[in-house]
Amino acid sequence: MRPGDPAGRFAPGRLILHRNVRRGRIGWVRPGRVVSDDERGLLIWVARNSPVASEVTEAGLGMRAIPFAEWITSSYRLAPGRWAGPGLLKFLPTGAAHSVWWFWDAEGRFTHWYVNLEEPGVRWDDGDLAGVDMVDQDLDVVVQPDRSWQWKDEEEFVERLAHPDDYWVTDEAAVRSEGKRVIALAEAGEFPFDGTWCDFTPPAEWTVPMGLPTGWDRPPVR
């Protein structure tokens, strides 16, 4: 955030962390550079080969690799890795229970939007390091360039809802309602599904960090 900025906004170009939190634990971490931060929301760029971390079991299995009933009885650790796909934009609308991601192919052609349903992010700033912590609600929507769409990960969402004492999503109806609200924006071609940022390219001077910055695993604020 810029010193003295009453809105507590992050400066363009600053490296911050986008972190998913599951019942007080870090689920995954992705560093990104701030493209813009204004009244509409926060826009960050995650570059190809960026260092990341994801929660896995002691055996090295991710949450999607095993039944949820087995996952919730496991022990966990955070495993380092790299963002393998092409770079992507993430837009976190102010106060909204979702983010929108822009995906491109290896040749730099825009391929689709990805609506990640999530609890609104909570910002933090330690001075040398800053970020946004949110709770990923697992159900997603994929929107094609022609504004056709489909739900994603619905089977996993339903499977996890069957374990209310252990699942971080407590209001299924609210999650689906938010998804439908964003779908309506997409079908109408309204912002951010109006072509905005589909031709984005990051500044050439934005380097990819060699590793996650010190403090990346600091306690969540969620």
Tens of pLDDT, residue by residue over 75-117, are: 999 999 999 989 999 999 999 999 999 999 989 999 999 999 9
Rg, the chain, Cα only: 17
Integer CA distances (angstroms), 38 to 5, 130, 158, 162, in order: 11, 17, 35, 39
The answer to whether 31 touches 50, Cβ cutoff 8 Å, is yes
Beta-sheet pairing, 110-125 with 88-93: unpaired
Q: Kindly tell me the sign of the dihedral angle through the C-alpha atoms of 139, 60, 101, 126.
A: positive
Q: Which of 152, 156, 160 is nearest to 179 (CA)?
A: 152
Domain ranges of the chain: 15-187
Residue 7 is predicted with a pLDDT of: 53
Residue 2 is predicted with a pLDDT of: 38
Looking at the chain, the whole-number percentage of residues with pLDDT higher than 70 is 97
Integer CA distances (angstroms), 157 to 8, 93, 147, 164, in order: 34, 23, 23, 12
Q: Is the pLDDT of residue 191 over 50?
A: yes
The answer to whether 134 touches 145, Cβ cutoff 8 Å, is no
Helix axes 172-187, 154-161, angle to 10 degrees: 160
Half-sphere exposure of 10 (CA within 13 A, CB side): 29
Q: Which residues contact 84 (CB under 8 A, 6 or more apart)?
A: 48, 49
Residue 8 is predicted with a pLDDT of: 81
Question: What global pTM score does this model have?
Answer: 0.93
DSSP string, 131-168: EEEEEEEEEEEEE-TTS-EEEESHHHHHHHHT-TTT-S
Q: Is the pLDDT of residue 1 over 60?
A: no
**CATH fold of 15-187:** FomD barrel-like fold (2.40.380)
The answer to whether 100 touches 181, Cβ cutoff 8 Å, is no
The answer to whether 133 touches 109, Cβ cutoff 8 Å, is no
